Amino acid sequence: MNKITEYFQSVKKEMGKVSWPTQQELIDSTVIVVVFSIIVSLFIFGVDRVYSTVLELIFG
């Protein structure tokens, strides 16, 4: 039981050292991830359409 108590005490101590992002940093990071995800998905969609069209022309 003593080891469990020590563990949670050390977790609490380490969590106090964490540098948490501000709300604005979190929003900015989220926007970047969403925009990048949309760009990548559009790129993959475009490549898929090109490959599909080329294969359709080749194999009819």
For the chain, the domain total comes to: 1
Q: Which DSSP letter does residue 18 get? A: -
Asked if residues 20 and 12 have their Cβ atoms less than 8 Å apart, the reply is no
Q: What is the pLDDT of residue 21?
A: 94
Range of the domain at 41: 19-60
Joined together, the tokens standing for residue 44 give 């993959």
Question: Residue 22: left if φ>0, alpha if ψ -120 to 50, beta else—which one?
Answer: beta
Q: What is the pLDDT of residue 60?
A: 83
**pLDDT digits (tens), the chain, 60 positions:** 889 999 999 999 999 999 999 999 999 999 999 999 999 999 999 999 999 999 999 998
pLDDT in tens, 24-40: 999 999 999 999 999 99
Compute the distance between CA of residue 42 and CA of residue 48 in angstroms, rounded to an integer. 10
pTM for the full model? Answer: 0.67
H helices present in the chain, as ranges: 2-17, 23-59
The answer to whether residue 23 sits within a structural domain is yes
The answer to whether residue 5 sits within a structural domain is no
The answer to whether residue 10 sits within a structural domain is no
What SS3 class is residue 56?
Answer: helix
